[in-house]
Structure 1
Amino acid sequence: MTDVINDAEAYGVEIIPAAVEPGQVYWKVIRVHHLTPEENGGRHHIFIDAVDEEGNRLYGSLFTISWDGGSDTVTIEKAPPDPGANFPMWKWQVCSVEGMGAPSDRVINLHTAHPDEGPGNTLFYHSFDITFLRTVAEEGETPAYSLLRGRVPGGGGHTLVLLDEHEVVQTQVVGADEQYRFSNLPAGAYIVRDSSDLRVAGPAFLDGRNEVILNFPAPLPEDRVFARYVLFSDPAWPETWVYLSLLAERLAQNDIPFGFQTSDAAQALKVSLVGVHPQETLHELTDAGCEVERLPLDPSELLQALESTQ
């Protein structure tokens, strides 16, 4: 069995194993590499290669790159020493890659919104190199005993729906202890939805062997409309539009409401301040019972700070 090398795990990149039967031909990811600043040279690409068991490049192989709202296909056609194919990622795009024509491992969470690492790797200029091996599945390569469990605060008696790629996998009624448990799961990216109050938890990435704890967010108090709100500074200031262009798409992707009105932000449990705000704004929000945090003014630190406080 070929060992898998993934030095991009520190950048949130995961490999979702293919669901295959022993003896079945499939695409196996054998290498995921985040390019160093020297290797990258300011690019923002996914580089893809496909090889056979002898290490020969498989020209004509097709791979799908998918993202929220779209997809594209690339063909292995370039000659060494160049990678067989490449795909340029744009700002805020989060991609996955998998082979076509056979079951395939899937590489997920590829994007460029990583902090500066020096010349060659700066915010929105990061690249990844992925190698797929066309091989035959061996015995024991398709485990299906992952466990997904957690707590649903206030969810006793609620019905949960487990989804994988928008397909219903299992359903379950939460007990009085507010705990849920889905077992014997194959590899996949799973979301759990509470059909009673529409809360959602996930995604949780399972490899067919691991155990993941995925707790639901607490239900909102009756006097709150939002769990979190991002309040931008005065829209008349040019700096505000820099921050907005940097964060708006990511906030929308994660269903985090945002705007410029303190009165709207005051309806949230937690408020994240972006840009410069007068002290009166802070007082108004704290008086309304909001938890308030100030995010960094440096754009290169802003995205990382936003994600670390979710």
Structure 2
Amino acid sequence: MRTPLRSLAAAAAAGVALAVTLTACSSGTGTAPEPADGGPGGVTVSHVHGLGIDPSDEHLYVATHEGVVAVAADGAARRVSDRADYMGFTVAGPGRFLGSGHPAPGGDGPANRGLIESTDSGRTWQTRSLAGTTDFHALEYAHDTVYGYDSTNGVLRVSADGTTWDTRTELAALDIAVSPEDPERVLATTESGVARSTDGGRTFGAGAAPVLGFVSWPREDALYGLDQTGGLHRSTDGGTNWTRSGTVPGGAPQALTAVDPDRVLAATQDGVYESRDGGRTFTERLPISGASH
């Protein structure tokens, strides 16, 4: 019988994130964004928290410690948001982003922004819920439902409307992924490996190898995981078995999003990279300055 994974809430969650880090540590359509405020590619980025492709313009969107950055197919980049720290981040639909994090330096509002939403591709954001109490470090939108890992309290939360939340269980995790076919199957990356839930995150089994920092699940037979050294792994059976498919350049990982079985986005300490062949080869989309936060 499975039992919930217990943690010491925020402290334990932070400990797992630190342990995982220290162990290791496109083409598209639409108008290209205008170049922005200096640095390679037109914008300076020090740390990445999330990645996604907006179906409305096919640009790559990068959630960073210094705001949300849009990158066009030709490499032109610009900051589209303010300079807030955007933590958990996911593209929920054309022009619709979900996020969390902290206000820009000198900005108004609580230190933890709860769940925030943009309906104009990251230009403006509105608070949906949990402001002042929650900092989501991982967000997934699947089955018309928001799944979020609340790092402030060390719990998994689930919401059908983005305002009313069900607290599923306590656990110490860094990232989560939801089966694209079954809303009850949820994975979490933990210090001991990938933990699995078959009841929507209410309980999790023990973590099992490999130890991964980030996971992304675009199709049932295409689950990807990124380890602490930048090794990209793929599972075709929901995480029971894994094979290494390639290596992301640039050192310690910061984020992972698999758009489909062939297209994989990954951020490391040196840059944001994209693969169009399932992780065998990668091309740099945006350089990172190398500072960490």
Q: Which TM-score band applies after superposition, normalised by the shorter structure?
A: under 0.3
More helix by share: 1
Q: TM-score, normalised by structure 2?
A: 0.24
The structure with the largest alpha-carbon Rg is 1
Q: TM-score, normalised by structure 1?
A: 0.24
